[in-house]
Structure 1
């Protein structure tokens, strides 16, 4: 009985030990899985170009394996007597899809990291032989340093990824001791495959960085030496130029002090300037004119100086292109040009590459300002950039706003005067108003036209000598003065017939015949009729 009890107790102790061991193993397995998950999350969150390249490489290999598998399956199905056509069609469709994907990922077939590990070529190394080339040399050095920085950044990122893969490998090895499953074995193989690919790329990248660093350092050292030489050369040339300028100034002072004839002193000063500029040009030529290339550059600068001296000519040619291509002015348009206080209005006769030829017409401008007309005006095309141009007939417009102003006395019936002016203006502008309305409707496709009220407008404004009546109307752009004359005459005729409207004007009238000087007009105020004194 005692032996049975002892045996039973021993079994209980052994079972308890086994349970504790299993619990400990489960705890370790869970801890290892958590650590592996943390590393996987870290690798996944690392948006590295290396991982993206490797992922595409792995996808390409998987696609190749799937293609081979489908091809074998299709071969077996076709050799089978009772072939399943539906399944064959499905597999063919999958095969076509995978083959298209294979074409897209073809660059990852052999070397997925080619762009990252290939040594950059150092080409087009500048030769710094003048001060202008210094800027290009400094820019080239910065590009080399940036390229080296990118390579080292990729190297550091790759080292970090490989370290994480090493940690993951050791954790998977520990997990394998507890869990001999196929899943863990596949993870170990995948991890090692990725690690081997990245280590191979790392070895090549280290060699690339070493070689590129030596090459770029050599180029940078040579460029820095050239830059240093050019800076010292520029300083020497600058000092020489300053000396020549100082000498020229000293000679000018000498000339002013000892030559009292102003004309001779002026001539001597001009000669000194000429020789000074010539010496400076010769210094620069001998310093930098080492081959034909610099001669061409010198001629280019000379051409630029010529272009500056003849800028008006070149601007006129450019203005011709603007006028022709922009369509702001056409032959036959009526334009208005103002320059230095003079205003010219007329019709465009011709537009050449250098100038606009205009025939000056009799207009309100010639009546009020010039008192001349019929002249041929030549307008340089460069005026389109610097001078006020007004086109009365742009966009097919044939009409413009014009107006007539007159002043009546304060005791006149201004409302009746407004009505008369409006009626007369409407009578003579009715046809032009309709033309304007149609043309504005066409122009809305090109321009933003908000105010489309083109009916005659009348205004009454208080002035110091009476009430000014202003009437505005649409009129022919080519005959504004004629219509203004007609409207003015008819307004005067109608106003003179009205007993309660008096034209206000500055005049002195001596009355000796007993009349009031206004044609004995009477003004009715209410029921009282007063004689105008």
Structure 2
């Protein structure tokens, strides 16, 4: 370019020089120097002008290049800023606080629209048609319903979150079970405090992110001044101010709320501590009562010769200890015992009717324990509704007597089964017959064996045989009974105290009955009967003048033409049949 400018300048100069040379022929030599000076000046001006034009062009090209570089740099910076903004938006996408803030904005928007509708209704009340007024009323009603749904956002950008969870009034701890509820309540209070503290952290984190996003939009607006960015900056600035206000309120409330919760927790812990001390005192009393009862039972055991008496005494001591423990617990954990007594007084009639059998069983237990009529280990017989049960007493509880059936004559003749466990309510002692086979240390009972003889038998000899056998087998039981009856005279007035075996003879329609009675062990009466019966039978079979009577049949064989013949030949019983009957 410079070469072209110089060449054009040279051509102009040559042309000018040629023209000047032609003119010099005319012009005076004196003016030649002036012309040359003017010519040099023109050449210089042209050169300077060309030089300036070249420099301006270079400056324009450089400015254009700088502008292009600046645009590229701004675009890259804008993309980076938009990327950061997008990242922040993704982090805040599911933020519950922003969701609630949108409800707050909706509430304000709906409130504004409702105010406009109400003003419009006032203005058009006289000029508008009924249809228009009706539509306005409907719109107002719809907006009011919408406001009612989001009413919690009326004065708070985050709605009800701005208020801490309510601290419920705690119940006074009056029993050990209240400790569990108190610990649960402490856990709930700690969770509420943590929840409100986390809300403060979330709001603080949100304000930081909103501030970062606002700064990014300001930078973006400086690079690209679009109206959209300006609106976003205005919205973010207001949103940030709203959340800063909420943060300040929540922070102040959180301090007060935390102190209140800590105060309530300390009060609850103090009550727990008092209740634990109370429990320890009660446990100490219970341990002392149990230890004293153990010493008493240990001392009384030396004075009881029979295990059954000690067992019943042990039950009474246990019941007394349990009763004392219940009374200690009642007076420890019932604040107003007189109030309880009043309630029980009013309810006693209904309770007595509803729990009549229970109360009767308790009274029956008291009678059994105090009278000593039945003790653990006794053999008793209970009869109710035709059912008989004979067994040994296993336990006497507050409501029932537990007995276990044994193999007895009753099992053999009536029940045909045994070994069962019977539970007899204690109230049966007032209404049913209960026979005690082993009362007051008496361990023997009278048992009898009946044998029917023919009328032509020597019944006196049979009586003697039976009496001898009974004496032989029951001698030990007779001596024991004599001693036991002597002891019973201190408690009861005994008249007939004969203990020797007794044999009675009775005339019955089918023969003479020899009834032998003897004393035997209450727990093994069937065994002794089983032993003596074969002995008596064998002794009778050895005597020719003693015949055992048993049901017999006589068969008469008549001719068919004389079914009711007058004379019938008596047939003798075959020897084999007679021997078989005797064996049976």
The TM-score with structure 1 as length reference comes to 0.50
Task: Pick the structure with greater CA Rg.
Answer: 2
